[in-house]
Amino acid sequence: MKKIAVFTSGGDAPGMNACVRAVVRTGLYHGLDVYGIRYGYNGMIEGDIFPMSSFTVSNILQRGGTILKSARSEEFRNKDGRKKAFENLKQRNIEGVVAIGGDGTFTGAKIFHEEFGIPVVGVPGTIDNDLYGSDFTIGFDTAVNTALHAIDNIRDTANSHDRVFFVEVMGRLSGYIALHCGIGGGAELVMVPETDTTIDDVISTLEKGRDKKKTSAIVIVAEGDEQGNAHEIAAKVKAKLPYLDIRVSTLGHMQRGGSPTSRDRIIASRLGLAAVEGLIEGRKSDMVGIVDNQLVYHSLEDAINKEKPLRADLLRLVEVLNS
């Protein structure tokens, strides 16, 4: 293998730049030519592919977002679009690809490999931390810390005004961000898609808090919770507990930005190096992850299709510490 390419796709995540840097410099260390693909699969189709050097990735380790840009591609869903992408790689003699992204990125990479034989190693880059095969994904730690900083500030004003705040965090259909924020922020309750928390459960928790002389409360809501978004849940609670002063804060896309934490920079760098060396070793359709602090590889199919459950001990921690 002499030439490889790297791209980022799907939602951006802090630490993606650190991973791109690691891919480029590891490739160069092993004597490979490394190409960057701008705008994910769209760039692969349009031929937005350029050679990268060590200088290209200088001074990006600490930056949020992705210098390679990101986009979702409808055209890549069609075989004609994927064929254009393949032809552009073939024209440049690119023999392997590192795909940084989430399950949508990996789904495209798996199909692409099956159709055209291009070896692909995926790197889990998503704040949601919802991919099987890695304890943590790139961007998760930063997103949690960003959200936690906001929750700490909300706690101050909630306490000053004796208010109940429903704080919605990102995570899609995964409750990892909500759970970690709930523990770190001392939330009275955490509502996640993986557990069945009813409105009556919320009311019971808030009433118990009042009985213990608590004058304020924080309820963390994952955006994919089955009871609805934070505004909908707050309205249902307000209808049954009209005496409560209730506010809602949706943190939104601020969780996807910002300078990555040290942990995310290190995770991203380790995964980027392992992705390149995985290609060199002959891996064809795998994702590299970190499990129990060890680098591991799983098939893209497993990464896409296998569930990553929330840790039962962390769910219990929320329950015990707020009993």
Active site residues: 128
Question: Residue 222's beta-bridge partner residues?
Answer: 169
What's the half-sphere exposure (Cβ side, CA atoms, 13 Å) at 168?
Answer: 20
Q: At how many degrees (to 10) do helices 140-161 and 262-281 cross? A: 160
Alpha helix (H) ranges present in the chain?
16-29, 40-46, 79-91, 103-116, 140-161, 176-184, 199-211, 230-240, 262-281, 300-305, 312-321
Torsion of Cα atoms, 173 then 176 then 179 then 183, to 10°: -160
Say what the alpha-carbon torsion angle 84, 102, 288, 112 is, to the nearest 10 degrees.
Answer: -20
Max Cα separation, the chain?
Answer: 71
